[in-house]
Amino acid sequence: MKSNVLNIISIVTITIICSLLTITFYLNIPSNWKFENPYATFVASIMLYYLILIFIRTFILLILSFLEIVFCKKSREVKSFPLVTIIIPAFNEEKVLIPAIESVLKIDYPNLEILVVDDGSTDNTFAVAKTMEKHQQVRAIHQSNAGKSNALNYGISQAVGDYYVCMDADSVLSENLLLEAIPYFERDPNLAAVAGSVEVGNSRNILTAFQKLEYIIGLNFHKKAQSFLNMVTIVPGPIGVFDRRKVYGIGGYSSDTFAEDSDLSMRLLMEGYNIKYCDKISAVTEAPDEINALITQRYRWSRGMVQSIFKGIGLLSMNFSARGAFVVTYMFFETIMIPLINFSFIVLTLEFALLYDIADLMGPYFIGLTLLDVALCFYSIITERRIFSLLILSFLNRLTYGLILEVIRFFSIFDELLKIPMKWGVLVRKGLN
């Protein structure tokens, strides 16, 4: 009851804040914002309407997120305890593999197997995995290096469980994972996957703190809204529970994109299956703590998602469905259009400030977006019971960390359109705190 009251208070608060932002924005627009140059007037008008569009989009997501919180069924008692396989694809993960396996062994579930798939590691990953076979539930298998997607497919083919969990070797899973996730499948026979919450476990500096904020607002907030429609667009690599037969039925993971999790999720949705989000289950993972590593990771993620979208468009042209069209359109807008528009407006803001001296117009624009970030942070912290100190970072995010991400997304999109070659990129593991 207390939780529902907090959720009601938070959604009412956000509604008031969004309304005040809109009113304040219009009241602060200078009366002389139209310029002699028609180009400047046109672009400034577009920026104004775009900000209102972002407010509307955010408000819709808030409503959907709130409805998911209120109407999601609370019964979480497992009825039959089906066998579940935890698949851990590993390439040169000897430093983090044992903590990952030990975290899985602590999962509170009576019918579990752990399958480590060594993808041709050049270090002692496979040897480390074999030592963990002293535990009855653990199996270690090896394949020649063929990439993560093929390692996952090999794991699925060797798994015994009716369901499987795709887990990164640098992650630590919550102990309640399966007791919370399996009832979703028992309630919905059309459910293909349950996505969990991703948390940053190596808060060493300001960069990882910003990523913690990003995961709370940008990832988990959106997933909760999508979950109300049974259409979570990405089941994150660190934590996802899947119906093995449904994944196997669509051909498993594909190796023709750099974001196998996004590609699989989109194909499952386009096939007509449901995907839910459960904020009660989580994976603590290692985030990049250096700027170069962050750029490498996010560049790959962004390009991979763009590849998945264009692949989805191709699949849609061969087998059209209203649901598939909605998923692809939504992903195209969120993943391609918004980053391109945001980056373009950043450049135009600088141009207008230098050439037309209209900082009075640009001020409300960025103030509005910043306050919107703070409002979303406040809402996410309440609904997911997170750290309130992150509110401070939300004031700085728009013109610091968020700006870096917009630049990365912009260039990754254009590089993919130009088909510039790229490599997978490897994050050097340092371990969790």
Q: Where are the domains of the chain?
A: 2-72+328-417, 84-289
- Tokens describing residue 204: 């060493």
User: Is residue 15's pLDDT more than 80?
Assistant: no
Grouping H, G, I as helix, E, B as strand and the rest as coil, residue 113 is strand
pLDDT of residue 275: 97
User: Is residue 79's pLDDT more than 50?
Assistant: yes
Distance in angstroms (rounded) separating the CA atoms of residues 407 and 35: 29
Query: What is the pLDDT confidence band of residue 342, given thresholds at 50, 70 and 90?
Result: confident
Q: Are strands 112-119 and 138-143 parallel, antiparallel or unpaired?
A: parallel
Q: What is the mean pLDDT of the chain?
A: 83
Residues of the chain with pLDDT > 70, as a percent, come to 81
Of all helices (H) and strands (E), which one includes residue 163? strand 163-166
pLDDT of residue 427: 61
pLDDT of residue 172: 86
pLDDT of residue 392: 77
Q: Whose CA is closest to 373, among 398, 349, 356?
A: 398
pLDDT of residue 1: 47
Select, from the ranges 29-38, 73-82, 377-386, 424-433, the one with the highest average predicted confidence (pLDDT).
73-82
User: Is residue 345's pLDDT more than 70?
Assistant: yes
User: Is residue 162's pLDDT more than 80?
Assistant: yes
CATH number for the domain running over 84-289: 3.90.550.10
Q: Would you tell me how many other CB atoms lie within 10 Å of the CB of residue 170?
A: 25
Q: What pLDDT digit, counting tens, does each position of 119-137 carry?
A: 999 999 999 999 999 999 9
pLDDT of residue 374: 74
pLDDT of residue 87: 95
Give the global pTM.
0.88
Of all helices (H) and strands (E), which one includes residue 345? helix 338-355
Query: Which has more confidence, 169 or 159?
Result: 159
Distance in angstroms (rounded) separating the CA atoms of residues 56 and 67: 17
pLDDT of residue 21: 58
Query: What is the pLDDT confidence band of residue 51, given thresholds at 50, 70 and 90?
Result: confident
User: Is residue 9's pLDDT more than 60?
Assistant: no
Q: What pLDDT digit, counting tens, does each position of 251-308 carry?
A: 999 988 888 999 999 999 999 999 999 988 988 888 888 999 999 999 999 999 999 9
Query: Which has more confidence, 265 or 224?
Result: 265
When pLDDT is averaged across residues 362-381 and rounded to a whole number, the result is 70
Distance in angstroms (rounded) separating the CA atoms of residues 376 and 379: 5
Long-range pairs, 414-418, Cβ under 8 A, ≥24 = 415/303, 416/303, 416/306, 416/307, 417/306
Q: What is the DSSP letter of 231?
A: B
Q: Residues 83-105, buried b or exposed e (16+ Cβ, 10 A)? A: bbbbbbbbbbbbbbbeebbebbe
Which of 210-224, 304-318, 370-384 shows the lowest mean pLDDT across its residues? 370-384
